[in-house]
Amino acid sequence: MSPADQPTPLLTRGTILAETYRIERWLGQGGMGIVYLARDLVLERDVAVKILRPQNAADPRIAELFHREAIAMASVCHINVVQVFATGAHGALPFFVMEYVPGQTVAELVGDSYRRGHDLKLGKVSDILYQASRGLTAMRECGIFHGDVKPSNMLINSAFHVAISDFGLVGSAHARAAGVKPIASEPGFLGGTPRYVAPELVSGVDVPPEQHHLCDVYSLGASVFEMLTGHGPFVGQTVRDILRGHLFTPPPRVTDRRPDLPSAIDGVVTRALAKNPRDRFQACTELADEVDRVVQLAA
């Protein structure tokens, strides 16, 4: 996003949070919060600060979800997951401080490549997928599912290191154990982004906790499709059209868009995007390993 397209910042450059973090510039925003690059004046390092939007702070549901995101991210220690360092408040607005990953999102990488007419190589997609799947697996081992896996929530730096970010729709077994029901499991709540959301979340069925990670497998499969083709598996004029695609339409073949790729990739992506969770890969790493196998066979 160009400087002219950026929104008016909530925090201006030079603002000091908790007597420690000096705001440097706007980085991005989501549905709940705004993210800034900041300087940790005590430890003398760059960090990212996510602060809750003022219009969301008065909603206890959203405030709880924001707090839960920080707890979930802080509970996972893995090289492929953005780390949370601290939490605080700026007036009435809660914030948390996390690892700053300089570079771009995978969505930006994909968009830039296809705008220039350059398809992403299967090997590069496999490298991204390998790292993302390891981060998501580390989350699962902590009793957490992401809930909104997509290329814009994968950060990638100049050394091609990938880290999973934005746990805004996270579901946590720890929260359930504490008696807190994940908002993403409430009737009528559509967890995830329409382009990547699993069919069971679209239909509103009650997803058992032990199957939550299979929603992430599906979203990761949709992300792979986008990395390889430049667009999601289901497109339409409206969000409803896209959601109906997830529910009822078989995923298109990747090789219809990318005839240069091995035909075996079609079967891998189709399995990842199976409508029935039981028919998918049962772990994100299984999907990554199958894509790697296709790469090795094509070498």
Identify whether 148 is a catalytic site residue: yes
**148, 166, 216, 266: the active-site residue:** 148
Neighbouring CB atoms inside 10 A of 241's CB total: 13
Task: For 127-172, give the DSSP string.
Answer: HHHHHHHHHHHHHHHTTEE-S---GGGEEE-TT--EEE---TT-EE
Residues marked active site are found at: 148
